[in-house]
Amino acid sequence: MHLSDRIGRRVKLHDLHVLMTVVHAGSMRKAAEHLNTVQPAISRSIAELEHALGVRLLDRHRQGVEPTDFGRALLDCGVAVFDELRLGMINIEHLADPTAGEVRIGCTPILAATFVSTVVDRLSRRYRRIVFHLVTGYVETLLRELSDRTVDFLIAARLEPLLNERLSWELLFEDPYVIVAGKQSPWAKRRRVDLSELVNESWVLPPPEGAFGSVARDAFRARGLDGPRATVYAVSYEVRLNLLATGRFLAIFPASALKLSARRLDIKVLRAALPIIRPPNGIVTLKGRTLGPIAQLFIDHAREVARPMAK
C-alpha cells in the first residue's frame, strides 16, 4: 500500500487533533481534561497515529510529553490541514451568503485603535454580517500568531529582522512620527519647540522591550541628545491618550494615529523637528496560504483607506 493510501485510510483528523491538543497541553492527562474524555482514549489515538505512520511521535517523560522530530513535522502539517479546512468552510459559507463571514486581523494596539478601526468602520457599514476579530500585541507575538494561523494576516510596521522567507509584505503607507501633548499642556501653546527643551519632561512611552520602544530614544540621539525620561511605559494607546489629556505628559505617536483617531481633538502636535523617522506600515501574510474572501475583502478596503495616506 502506498503511503498516500495508508494515510488516507488510517490517519484520522480526530487523532491529529488529539496529537495537537496533547502537545499544546503538555501531557495526556491535561489533554483528556481539555477534550472532555479519558486518558486511555487519548493514548489510543496517539498509538494509532504512530502505527499508521510507522514512527514515534511523542517522547514521554516524568514532566509530560514533547514531540519528536517526526511529531513536529506532523504538527506543522496538522496546523495547515485544519487551517485549510477552516478556509473551506468559510468559502462554503461565503458562497451561501457573500455578505457574511469572519476575519481575524493581527495588529499592534495603536494601529488597531486607528487605521484598522477605520477600515472596520467602513467595511461594517456595507457588510453588517461580517464579524471582525482584532488580535493585538507586539509585532513579535503577532508573527507567531500568524505562523500558527490563528490570525489571517497582520497589519503592522515592517521590521526587517523579523521578516523571513515564509512571509510576504505589502506596503500600505509610510508613517512619520510626531511629538504630541495634551491641549492643556503649556507646550501646546508654543509656536516652535526645540528637542533639547523636552528631554527632562515627563513622557509616556511604549515599553522599551517592544519593537517601537527605541523610537523616542533614537530620535533624540540623532540630534546628539540623551533620550527622553519616561515617567510611564504603556503598550495601551488609550492609556497614553488619557495621560496626555492631563496636560502633564508628552508622547511620540505615528502621524496617522492622530489623523484617524476619534480623540485627535484632545491632543496637539508640537512643532518640534524630529529626525526623519518614517516606519512603513503594511500587510504581512504567509506565503502559499490562500486567504478567504472576507479576509481579501478587508485587505482591499485597507488599500483604499491607505491610498491617500501614501501620497
Q: Where would I find the H helices in 97-176?
A: 109-111, 117-126, 139-147
Rg (CA), the chain: 24
What are the Cα distances from residue 255, in Å, to 44, 54, 146, 214, 307?
57, 57, 26, 17, 15
Cell numbers 527605541 correspond to 214
- pLDDT for 202-242, tens place per residue? 999 988 776 677 778 888 888 888 888 889 998 888 888 89
pLDDT at position 1 over 50: no
Contact 199, 206 (CB under 8 A): no
Determine the pLDDT at residue 202: 93
Answer with the residue of higher pLDDT: 49 or 189: 189
- Identify which of 185, 191, 206 has the alpha carbon closest to the alpha carbon of residue 250: 185
Given this model, what pLDDT does residue 250 score? Answer: 93
Domains (ranges, CATH) in the chain?
3-78 (1.10.10.10), 97-174+280-310 (3.40.190.10), 177-269 (3.40.190.10)
2-54 per-position pLDDT tens digit: 555 555 556 777 877 888 888 888 888 888 888 888 888 888 888 888 877 77
Task: Report pLDDT digits (tens) over 235-244.
Answer: 888 888 899 9
Residue pLDDT, tens place only, 172-182: 998 888 899 98
pLDDT at 296 over 50: yes
